């Protein structure tokens, strides 16, 4: 059975995007949030590249999936770190939960029908780690008891509001471990209590 993980970068006050911002086409917080929480250090970015390589697949909500399709095609301004991430991300299987999309891109499957049943079945069929992308989607799966691990990547910034990591009430959690990632990030790993 696969392990379902929800992990995202967030500010010290618990936000993944600022009051008027969200991830831009590079997966970096944009608008007001960009001025407050800059892109991660290259060593942190490399951590995420290795993490993506280790996954058996990724489940996305529509909005984050659309942001992440940025990595489907090489861009002229990319450096080697960007190319490396794209090479890791592209071949990973992806599943997208959306009521509005009619189709999805390469290596992606549009989830049809009941998302809870679909993810429950997917977990039972797969063996490695599956990551959930998107706070609202993670909340739906968390409420159904499907998320096995929460990874909070804390960065030393305060956004003062915006989109929170937890889209609903925080489930009862137990700290499993903590570790520095790169030069400005600490990962806290929790499991349901």
**Within a domain: 191:** no
**Within a domain: 192:** no
Backbone angles phi, psi at 3, to 5 degrees: -100, 125
Q: Are strands 129-133 and 3-10 parallel, antiparallel or unpaired?
A: parallel
* Domain coverage including residue 118: 3-128+140-158+167-175
**Within a domain: 31:** yes
pTM for the model: 0.89
Question: Based on the structure, what is the number of domains in the chain?
Answer: 1
pLDDT of residue 174: 98
Looking at residue 122, which CATH number applies to its domain? 3.40.430
Low-confidence ranges of the chain (pLDDT < 70): 20-36
**Within a domain: 188:** no
Q: Are strands 108-110 and 94-97 parallel, antiparallel or unpaired?
A: parallel
Question: Taking a C-beta distance cutoff of 8 angstroms, is the pair 21, 29 a contact?
Answer: yes
Question: How does pLDDT run across 106-136, given as a tens digit for each residue?
Answer: 999 999 889 999 999 999 999 999 999 999 9
pLDDT of residue 20: 64
Which residues, other chains included, contact 74 with Cβ-Cβ below 8 Å and sequence gap of 6+?
A: 83, 86
Neighbouring-strand partners of residue 167: none
**Within a domain: 135:** no
**Within a domain: 185:** no
**Within a domain: 92:** yes
Question: Taking a C-beta distance cutoff of 8 angstroms, is the pair 94, 137 a contact?
Answer: no
**Within a domain: 83:** yes
Q: Residue 186 carries which DSSP code?
A: E
DSSP string, 29-41: B-THHHHHSPPPP
| Token pair listed for 145 | 């008891």
Tell me which residue of 79, 86, 40, 80 sits closest to 181, measured CA to CA: 40
């Amino acid at each position: 059975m696969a392990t379902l993980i929800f992990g995202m970068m967030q500010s010290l006050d618990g936000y993944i995007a600022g009051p008027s911002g969200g991830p831009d086409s590079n997966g970096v917080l944009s608008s007001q949030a960009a001025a407050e929480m800059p892109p991660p250090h290259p060593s942190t970015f490399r951590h995420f590249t290795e993490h993506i390589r280790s996954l058996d697949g990724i489940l996305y909500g529509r909005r984050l999936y659309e942001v992440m399709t940025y990595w489907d095609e090489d861009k002229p301004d990319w450096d080697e770190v960007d190319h490396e991430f794209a090479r890791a991300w592209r071949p990973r299987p992806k599943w997208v939960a959306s009521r509005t999309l009619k189709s999805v891109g390469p290596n992606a499957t549009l989830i049809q029908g009941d998302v809870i049943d679909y993810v429950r079945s997917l977990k039972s069929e797969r063996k490695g780690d599956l990551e959930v992308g998107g706070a609202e989607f993670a909340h739906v799966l968390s409420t159904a008891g499907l998320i096995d691990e929460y990874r909070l990547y804390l960065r030393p910034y305060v956004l003062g509001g915006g989109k929170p990591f937890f889209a609903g009430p925080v489930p009862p959690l137990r700290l499993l471990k903590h570790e520095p990632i790169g030069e400005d990030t600490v990962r806290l790993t929790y499991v349901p209590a």
